[in-house]
Amino acid sequence: MTENDTLATKTSGGRVMTLEELLALPPTVNVTTAARALGISAHKAYALIKGGMFPVEVLTLGRTVKVPTASLWGVLGVSPQSQG
């Protein structure tokens, strides 16, 4: 296993988001991407948001919900300095 594998987040579907992928995310991401990073389904993420229990700050812009990547990194314990 590589360091990226060790720091990766495994989702229920078996797809892994590596540290490199996490660090390459844009400033905000959609709920589906944030859910993948957290290892939960998008359905579960939306349910947590609706119930006010999502572990990451969310930005509601009309009917659009975005998640700030910096907040997502904080919850996951990663930072740009984590790489390399």
What per-residue confidence (pLDDT) applies to 5? 43
Amino acid 82: pLDDT: 55
Q: Which two tokens stand for residue 9?
A: 């987040």
Name the CA dihedral angle for 75, 4, 33, 45, rounded to a multiple of 10 degrees.
Answer: -50
- Residue range 10-51, pLDDT digits in tens: 544 557 688 999 999 999 999 999 999 999 999 999 999 999
Q: Rounded to two decimals, what is the model's pTM? A: 0.80
% of the chain exceeding 70 in pLDDT = 77
Q: Burial letters for 37-59: b for 16+ Cβ neighbours within 10 Å, e otherwise?
A: bbbbeeeebeebbeeeebebebe
